[in-house]
């Protein structure tokens, strides 16, 4: 069993997921992989509702992030570049690093 690094960059994590799972993920495709993501989001919702099991909550956040990363791999999206492009200059709505968009708007 490999010992994980204490801190992993987004790019490193995406490569790790690619190395571990890409062949299976590509065969499943984006539609099948998306269904797994939805299942994990449901499990995260349940963990958030329960709110009293920190370990389970952490696991479900990690699972959702891993499945989102999996879909990005299958779709050929570099998550690090996409996030930098959209959020690297601040809020996409107001352009500030501390968002000042009205609560009624989705930034």
Summarize pLDDT for 15-71 with one digit per residue, the tens.
999 999 999 999 999 999 999 999 999 999 999 999 889 999 999 999 999 999 999
Q: Where are the domains of the chain?
A: 10-76
Fold entry, domain 10-76: Helix Hairpins (1.10.287)
pLDDT attached to residue 5:
63
Confidence of residue 7 (pLDDT cuts 50, 70, 90): confident
Summarize pLDDT for 74-84 with one digit per residue, the tens.
999 999 999 99
Sequence-distant (6+) residues with CB within 8 A of 69 are: 13, 14, 17, 79
């Amino acid at each position: 069993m490999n010992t994980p690094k204490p801190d992993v960059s987004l790019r490193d994590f995406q490569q790790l997921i690619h190395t571990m799972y890409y062949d299976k993920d590509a065969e499943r495709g984006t539609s099948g992989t998306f269904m797994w993501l939805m299942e994990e989001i449901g499990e995260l919702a349940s963990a958030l509702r329960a709110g009293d099991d920190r370990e389970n909550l952490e696991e479900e956040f990690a699972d959702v992030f891993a499945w989102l990363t999996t879909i990005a791999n299958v779709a050929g999206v570099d998550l690090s570049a996409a996030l930098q492009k959209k959020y690297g200059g601040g809020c996409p709505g107001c352009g500030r690093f501390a968002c000042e968009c009205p609560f009624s708007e989705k930034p």
